[in-house]
Each structure stands twice: as C-alpha cells, then as structure tokens.
Chain A
Amino acid sequence: MSRKGIGEFEELVLLAIAILHKEAYGVVIKEEITQRSGRKVSIGALQTAFRRMEDKGYLKSYFGEATAVRGGKRKKYYELTGHGSSALQQVRELRQSMWSAIPATVLKNFE
C-alpha cells in the first residue's frame, strides 16, 4: 500500500477533517462534505477512504465518548497527521502553480 498522491474524494475528506478540527467523526464528516459539495456520500465510501488514508499515513484516529444516539457506541475521531497535511498542502500548491500558469488571455474567458 504505497500508492502516492491524493484522489479527489480523498482530498474532500481530508479537507472536511481539517475544517472540523477535533470534532471530526464519521457522520459529521459526511454531513460536512454533503453540505459543501452537495454530493451524497455513503458511509461505506467514507470508511474505505478512511482505511486507505490510514494506510497511507495521512490520518490517525482515536475513540471518543459514547452517546445514546449512537446506541452506546463510541465515536471515532479522525485527525490529520503531519504527513496528511503536507500531502494536502502539496495538492494545493500544485493547483495554484497550474492556475497561475494559465495565460491571462485564457483566464479572461473563465469569468
């Protein structure tokens, strides 16, 4: 499991976790992504993304408190690792450098 780079969905998940900071667990991350991007995310899709990014070392997780609404199950909180945030940063830098490389005449058409 040493595939490099971040997929598009993985990027959304990482960003949502970064936004939620210390409050990021399954359902909340799902809601965050749905609210901001308008796309429906299944728990299965989210879980596979978590597993994959834990393997890559982008994420770490720990169990939090149990609640009644979760039927006595504990929440599992996710957090970016240093590796995860630098990977996210790299994606951003790549995007920005490519955006700034677009000639001004082409960029005008985008508006």
Chain B
Amino acid sequence: MKTNRLPSWANAIIRWSIKEEYLEEILGDLKELYAIRKTDRSNLYCFFLLKVQLVLLLRPALIKSPAAAKNIHIMMLKTHFKIGLRSLWKFRTYTFINLFGLSFGAASAIILFMAAEYEDSYDLFLPEHEQVFRIAEKSPEIGEYYQTRTPVAPALETEYPEIIASTRMFNYGGWYTYEDRNIRSDIYLVDEGFGKVFQFEVLEGNLFKTLSEKGKIALTSSQAKKLFGYESALG
C-alpha cells in the first residue's frame, strides 16, 4: 500500500502551527484533497492551492497558543493579578479611598508642575530673557503689587550701573475703531527703553525711531495682519 504524502515543507508547517488534537484530521484532509487535486492539475498549481489552504488554516481556534501562554511564570502572574483584582473588589471602600487619594494626589502634582513650567516659560523667545526682570512693590498693607511709580525706573537705572536698560509700560488695552471696524487690542504705552529691554525682531520700519517719537505705534505682525491684511503696515 503506497501512502500519500504532502510535500515535506507543508507537513512541517502544519505540525509546527496547528494544535496537536486537530493534527490527524487536518493532515488527513489536506492529503486527501491534495491527492484529488493532483489527478487533473499541474504540480505547480497544486502547490499554490496547498499554500492557500495553509494560510487559511491560520485561525485562532486552530493554531497552537504562543509559547508565552504555556509559561508557568506568566500563568502565575496572571493568577496574582486576578487575586489582586478580587481583593480590591472585596474591600471596596478602602479601594475607593486609596484610589481616589492617589489619583487626586497625582493630578495635583501634575497640575502644579505644569503651572510651574508655565511660569517659567515667559519671554523665552527674547535673546536675553534671563536678564529681563519685572519690578514689583511689596508693602505690609497690600502685599505684592506689580505697579510701580513713574520715576522708579529712571531712578534705578541711574543709581544701579548693573541695569543696562529699563522701560515702563502702562496697559492701555481695550476696544479701538479702525475705519469701520471695532477691534479689541492689548495696547501698552511704553517709553524708548522698550526696544532695548525687549529685543523683538523688526519686520518693517525702525523700532527705536518709532519709540522715541510721540504719537507713534508699533504693531505685532498678527495685529498688522488683522488691520491691513497683507499690505504694508507703514505709512
């Protein structure tokens, strides 16, 4: 009795991938199918059909579980997790208190770090941002106060040689009318030291000349785009 055989590579792949308990049936079926097909098809085509069958055999229900699933240590870990979850559920109140406390703490810490990072991120685009300081007043009655009197800056600049430049700023922001449009803008009244303290990149015109004359305005590029579109903001 001549027994029918599959090509050895096909045999090896099936033995390697398919679960032991289905091996006999699947191998038998494949061999029978292969024999039927060999009667009226070319060898090459039969190989191709066999390969198609092999690919279609790769289904979760039929293939061996990966080696990891059989590993005793991983099984043990799974059991530990299961037991852990069950005990968490058994002591629900404490689980809730602990989980809530931990998540609240973690959330607060994250928010605090983000706030600190935000405070640290001011004016980093300026070339000498480490040298720029803001002057505040502190008095017993009202605590810290970020508005100072007008003569403070010039006085400090003359009395302390370490101060290279100073500027005073006064917030004058609000609604403004340009042609027929109402525009909300942050506007600051500044003195001529502004250009030296905040060394902005100038796109058009002369910042120092603008700042040293009365009745002139310097615009940020986004503000200029808002007002004039893509036309020049000068003139």
The chain A residues found within 8 Å of chain B, CB to CB, are 25-27, 30, 42-45, 47-48, 51-52, 63, 66-76
Q: Are A44 and B25 in contact (CB under 8 A)?
A: no
Closest to B28 in A: A73
Interface membership of B163, Cβ < 8 A: no
Q: Of the 9-residue stretches B49-57, B98-106, B112-120, B210-218, which lies at the interface with chain A?
A: B49-57
Complex Cα spacing A74 to B1, Å:
15
Q: A44-B57, A44-B62, A47-B59 are in contact. Are A70 and B52 (CB under 8 A)?
A: no
Contacts of B28 in A (CB 8 A): 26, 66, 70-71, 73-76
Interface membership of B187, Cβ < 8 A: no
What are 21 inter-chain pairs, A to B, with CB distance below 8 A?
Answer: A25-B29, A26-B26, A26-B29, A26-B32, A27-B32, A42-B52, A42-B57, A43-B53, A43-B57, A44-B56, A48-B59, A51-B62, A52-B61, A63-B24, A66-B28, A68-B3, A69-B31, A70-B32, A72-B3, A74-B24, A76-B28
Question: Which residue in B2, B25, B26, B56 is a CB contact (below 8 Å) of A68?
Answer: B2
Complex Cα spacing A30 to B59, Å:
18
Interface membership of B27, Cβ < 8 A: yes
Interface membership of B30, Cβ < 8 A: yes
Interface membership of B224, Cβ < 8 A: no
The chain B residues found within 8 Å of chain A, CB to CB, are 1-6, 22, 24-33, 35-36, 52-53, 56-59, 61-62
Closest to B24 in A: A73
Complex Cα spacing A70 to B23, Å:
12
Complex Cα spacing A47 to B2, Å:
27
Contacts of A73 in B (CB 8 A): 24-25, 27-28, 31
Complex Cα spacing A6 to B75, Å:
34
Closest to A47 in B: B62
Complex Cα spacing A82 to B216, Å:
97
- Beyond the given A42-B57, A51-B61, A63-B24, please list 8 additional residue pairs across the A-B interface where CB-CB is below 8 A: A26-B25, A43-B26, A48-B62, A51-B22, A68-B4, A70-B28, A74-B24, A76-B28
Complex Cα spacing A70 to B28, Å:
5
Contacts of B56 in A (CB 8 A): 42-45
Shortest CB distance B4–A (Å): 5
Shortest CB distance A14–B (Å): 17
Closest to A75 in B: B28
Complex Cα spacing A42 to B29, Å:
11
Q: Are B6 and A71 in contact (CB under 8 A)?
A: yes
